[in-house]
Amino acid sequence: MNIRPVLTIAIFLSITSANLRAEYTDHRRKNLDSLENVVVKYTPDKIGNATEQELEGLINAYDNLMNGYLQINRERSMLFARKQIALASRKGWYVKKSDAEKTLGKHFWAMEQYDSAMFYYMTALRDVDKIAKIAADPDNPNGYSQTTADNSYSSLYGAIGNLYNMMDSIPQAMEYYRMAGEIFDRYGWNESNSILYHNIGETYLDLKDYPQALENYEKSIHYALASGDTLQISSAYTGLGALYLELGRTRKALKYLKEADNYYSLHEDQEFRSRIETLDLMGQVLSLQKKQLRTITLTAILLALLTIILAAALRKAWIFRRQRDAADEAIDEALGEEDDIAVSYKDSESVLTARESEILPLIAEGLTSQQIADKVFLSLATIKWHRKKLLEKFEAANTAELISKAKEKGFI
């Protein structure tokens, strides 16, 4: 399965706060060695005798070390995450505890230990349930708010959805995405919703479910425009461009990719890997358009050749038919002259061939030349030739006069 959709939103939903309204603090800017030298002095005995203020400072230090080592030293980050969980469990600080559990889940995910990652995510979710329960308590001893709980819920729903997505459990992933989206809608967190639906769109694109991909990419653009975040708008348009590229609809693909690049151009002083992806997709579109143009040109040439060949074949068939009809006439006439026995009528000195004697009554019946040809199994041209000869023999100007004179002379 393509992992890109999962990684796109994981950065936003499993590390940072769910609403993404504030930038993630780069804890690596802190002097981690000095900070670690401070916390290492807190032995279990010292922690047991520490004041509330000291413990709050200590857990904040654990948090900074956990996040500071997040991308540069996995072992140290996991060590301080576990220390944070231990202290937070002792004090009932569920926000800090769930944050550390989410971080452990992320590390196990990166190590492809998905069962362990899911364990920590679900443990964090249970702690958020406790935050929500305390927030609903009228006394609310910890001062938690529903917004605090919803922030954590939406972040975890997104992360769990991503993990199910990675494990190809799409229905479960979509259910957690749906719950995250409901929270984003409740608070009007449009940027988060744009990221969420972009991720869902990429999931369906990877599954070749193009109608679902289109629906979710369009939602992503809707929320991105509502948020006003130009970078997220660029990302949303890039997703739609990628969809139309896969569908082979190059004009639409190029339209949306150009829109994406226009928004990226507002940040020319910065370099974005996603912009490089957009430009690469534009290159693929242009390459596909060239191939399509070559295909269209070749098809047009082939159609022109086929038209010429067909026209030539039809002309040849027409000439052959004309020659065949002429041959039929010559053969019929030759047979008539050689084999027909003259038939004399008692009241006339005129003589008709056997063929003329056969055709004349049919003319008198009012049959057309084609009907006569079908009846006596001769070509249409031959019948017309015999009709002409009969008109000449009876010195008739038309068929009516021919029939009249033939009756007068007893031929009919």
Q: Is residue 243 part of a domain?
A: no
Tally of domains within the chain = 2
Which of the 8 DSSP states describes residue 14? Answer: I
Please list the ranges in the chain whose pLDDT falls under 70. 1-30, 141, 268-273, 323-350
Query: How many whole angstroms separate alpha carbon 209 and alpha carbon 173?
Result: 16
Q: What is the pLDDT of residue 15?
A: 35
What residues contact residue 7 under an 8 Å CB cut-off, 6+ apart? Answer: none
Residue that is last in its domain, among 186, 213, 228: 228
Q: What is the pLDDT of residue 161?
A: 94
Q: What is the pLDDT of residue 28?
A: 45
Query: How many whole angstroms separate alpha carbon 333 and alpha carbon 260?
Result: 82
Q: Is residue 248 part of a domain?
A: no
**Same domain? 48 vs 194:** yes
Q: Is residue 139 part of a domain?
A: yes
**19: containing domain:** 4-228
Q: Is residue 347 part of a domain?
A: yes
Q: Is residue 377 part of a domain?
A: yes
- Is residue 120 within 8 A of residue 108, CB to CB? The reply is yes
Listed residue (235, 197, 242, 188) closest to 218, CA to CA: 197
Q: Is residue 26 part of a domain?
A: yes
Q: Is residue 305 part of a domain?
A: no
Q: What is the pLDDT of residues 320-368, one digit of tens each?
A: 777 666 666 555 555 555 444 444 443 444 578 888 899 999 999 999 9
Give φ, ψ of 138 to 5 degrees.
-55, -35
Q: What is the pLDDT of residue 328?
A: 61
Q: What is the pLDDT of residue 60?
A: 93
Q: What is the pLDDT of residues 166-209, one digit of tens each?
A: 999 999 999 999 999 999 999 999 999 999 999 999 999 999 99
CATH number at residue 101: 1.25.40.10
Residue that is last in its domain, among 209, 228, 247: 228
Residue that is last in its domain, among 176, 197, 228: 228
Q: Is residue 302 part of a domain?
A: no
Please state whether the predicted TM-score (pTM) of the whole model is above 0.85.
Answer: no
